[in-house]
Amino acid sequence: MPVLQSQESITTTDGVQLAATRFRSEADAHSAILVAGATAVPQGFYRRFAQSAAERGFETLTLDYRGTGQSRPASLRGYRMDFTDWARRDMDAAIDALNPDARPVFLVGHSYGGMAFGLVPRPDRIRGMYGFGIGTGWDGFIPGAERWRVRAVWNLVGPALTVTHGYLPWSRVMSGEDLPSDIFWQWRRWCSRRFGLLDDPTLPEAREEYARVTTPMVLANATDDLWAQPAARDAIMTGYTSAPWRTADIDVSTRGIGAVGHMGYFRERAVPLWDDVFRVFDELRREPAPR
């Protein structure tokens, strides 16, 4: 069935305009999905997944968070924001754009998009969340030589480039989008703590916010995802004390989809993983809506 794709602008509660893309089939959608992406990953990376979801009857929305992709300002130098804005304001506005009062709305979170779900206002609007590659980001969970490479980024390369340029030219360090300087410094602080943002002294309310979430969740992490090992996922999930959740460790040696790493969850060969998502969401949408 053909999938219709339309570009649109979403306005947040603080007046920021976000670039978004809506995917829908010609048939009426039975429910909707918000794809909440990873840090420094543009929305176009999730296009194939969004098209597949639309073919399955889920109207799907992708977006670029403020300060990134098509939502970035003319210059990142001096651009001020908070890392929590992506969840508290941007994801919040995107959920409203999917009309949660009229139909079930689900969330697929990749890395940041799943990890920060607990910061979203009114999480009860989301019927179910499926997270890929989420974790606290603490480098103590990162194995082998990758740990030392990450430490070099946080402590040497990243600070030097951010101070020099007035923003983080992430495209020069790793693959991905350049980032506002505020994002780098907060991201670095979160990743220096075993429980990530849950242990950030500037966010004393974080654990209370996570504890109010009652949305059912599935958290899938690949065994070869060096940035989000199962232990890193389990650490952030300590915040969700009121929500039913379960894990799904993806054994890349037996799943038959090749290497996954931190980005392969949304590459074309990962279609079997997407089928898992749709199966879970189909089950949840058929259940009576919580009161």
Residue 172 within any structural domain of the chain: no
pLDDT in tens, 121-170: 999 999 999 999 999 999 999 999 999 999 999 999 999 999 999 999 98
pLDDT in tens, 167-226: 999 888 777 899 999 999 999 999 999 999 999 999 999 999 999 999 999 999 999 999
Tokens at 168, concatenated: 């983080």
> How buried is residue 101: exposed, middle or buried, by Cβ count under 10 Å (0-12/13-18/19+)?
exposed
pTM: 0.95
In whole numbers, what is the pLDDT of the chain averaged over residues? 95
What pLDDT band is residue 35 in, cutting at 50, 70 and 90? very high
Strand 105-110 relative to strand 58-63, pairing = unpaired
Q: What is the CATH number of the domain that holds 17?
A: 3.40.50.1820
Residue 45 within any structural domain of the chain: yes
Structural domains counted in the chain: 1
For residue 205, the number of C-alpha atoms closer than 13 Å in the C-beta half-sphere is 7
Residue 129 within any structural domain of the chain: yes
Question: Residue 13 sits in which domain range?
Answer: 3-137+203-285
Residue 78 within any structural domain of the chain: yes
Residue 155 within any structural domain of the chain: no
Residue 189 within any structural domain of the chain: no
Residue 231 within any structural domain of the chain: yes
pLDDT in tens, 161-171: 999 999 999 88
Residue 87 within any structural domain of the chain: yes
